[in-house]
């Protein structure tokens, strides 16, 4: 009976209070000593990381080159240059990688909002799901299995997010002639120029094209974008303001590239009818 369980757990807690009063140790100095030692370790580790960050930076320790722990700072933010890698801090990598599992546009909202919300609700609800008083680990098989699965999946997702392939514009621009040959737009000057901008402007950090690119954030493959025949005007409007044309799109605006270049990219996208067999 539930009420019996409630009475029993009250009794156990009362017993706990009695036991601690009878047999417990004062917080000071016993527990406090260990808390203090641990806190000193924490402060030392933080200070150590700061020192390593600074003093492994090459040159006179304030260049933009990365040391062991990465750059002191990147180049200044420039909304006009779009050659970027949208990378969050490492502890968001697991969320970041979830976005690659769910595909734009149908299911991406599961990765961006759905799954994190569900996980948060489960986390908050744990004390109400697991109401047994049992605390010994070996008698809590579900809790053991669940925690092992969570640690493994968080670890794998973080690792995958950390090692996710990034598109290097300077390398990919060399693939443009082969793209043109495969897609059959070798004669189309506008499309070739557009393909070069497409390769270096950061599009491939999120999108893929004939096997190049990072599939970041579950963005769609564009190898056969032209087959949809949406038209140059649509492509330009979309590049300028993706969310205006495609409601809820997380793609940033590329209006900073200027009309002439946007027209070339649009020509390239429309010329991409999919690889010829």
Looking at residues 90 to 119 of the shown chain, list those that interact with other proteins (rule: CB under 8 A). Answer: 90-92, 99, 108-109, 112-113
Q: Does 68 bind other proteins (CB under 8 A)?
A: no
Q: Which is nearest to 194 in space by CA: 239, 137, 143?
A: 239
Q: Which is nearest to 257 in space by CA: 246, 266, 269, 245?
A: 266
CB of 113 to other proteins, least distance (A): 4
Q: Which two tokens stand for residue 101?
A: 């599992």
- Per-residue DSSP letters for 117-140? HHHHHHHHHHHHH-------GGG-
Choose, by CB under 8 A, the member of 59, 76, 141, 187 that binds other proteins: 76
The footprint of other proteins on residues 212-271 (CB under 8 A) is 217, 243, 248-252
How far lies 170's CA from each of 11, 164, 195, 203, in Å?
A: 70, 18, 13, 13
Give the residue with the Cβ less far from other proteins, 69 or 227.
69
Rounded to an integer, what distance in angstroms lies between the CA atom of residue 23 and that of residue 266? Answer: 77
Choose, by CB under 8 A, the member of 1, 28, 80, 211 that binds other proteins: 28
Q: Does 137 bind other proteins (CB under 8 A)?
A: yes
Give the residue with the Cβ less far from other proteins, 1 or 38.
38
Choose, by CB under 8 A, the member of 7, 56, 58, 69 that binds other proteins: 69
Burial of 51 (0-12, 13-18, 19+ CB in 10 A): exposed
Give the residue with the Cβ less far from other proteins, 205 or 272.
205
- Per-residue DSSP letters for 148-202? HHHHHHHHHHHHHHHH-----HHHHGGGHHHHHHHHT-TT-HHHHHHHHHHHHTT
Listed ranges 48-56, 175-183, 193-201, 223-231: which one lies at the site for other proteins (CB under 8 A): 48-56
CB of 132 to other proteins, least distance (A): 8
Q: Does 211 bind other proteins (CB under 8 A)?
A: no
Give the residue with the Cβ less far from other proteins, 155 or 231.
155
CB of 199 to other proteins, least distance (A): 18
């Amino acid at each position: 009976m539930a009420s019996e369980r409630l009475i029993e757990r009250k009794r156990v807690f009362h017993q706990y209070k009695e036991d601690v009063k009878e047999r417990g140790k004062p917080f000071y100095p016993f527990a406090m000593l260990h808390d203090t030692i641990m806190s000193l370790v924490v402060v030392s580790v933080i200070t150590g990381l700061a020192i390593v960050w600074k003093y492994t930076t090459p040159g006179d320790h304030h260049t933009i080159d990365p040391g062991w722990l990465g750059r002191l700072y990147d180049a200044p933010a420039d909304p006009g240059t779009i050659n970027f890698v949208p990378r969050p801090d490492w502890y968001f990598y697991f969320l970041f990688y979830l976005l690659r599992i769910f595909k734009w546009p149908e299911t991406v909202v599961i990765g961006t909002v759905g799954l994190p919300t569900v996980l948060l609700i489960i986390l908050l609800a744990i004390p109400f799901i697991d109401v047994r008083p049992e605390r010994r680990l070996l008698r809590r098989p579900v809790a053991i299995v669940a925690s092992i699965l969570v640690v493994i999946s968080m670890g794998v997702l973080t690792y995958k997010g950390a090692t996710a392939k990034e598109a290097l514009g300077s390398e990919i621009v060399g693939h443009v002639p082969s793209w043109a040959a495969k897609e059959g737009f070798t004669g189309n000057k506008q499309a070739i120029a557009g393909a070069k901008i497409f390769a270096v402007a950061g599009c491939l950090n999120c999108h893929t094209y004939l096997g190049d690119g990072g599939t970041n954030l579950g963005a769609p493959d564009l190898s056969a974008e032209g087959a949809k025949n949406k038209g140059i005007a649509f492509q330009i409007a979309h590049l300028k303001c993706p969310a205006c044309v495609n409601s809820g799109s997380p793609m940033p605006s590329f209006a900073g590239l200027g009309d002439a270049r946007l027209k070339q990219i649009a020509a390239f996208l429309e010329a991409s009818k999919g690889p010829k067999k």
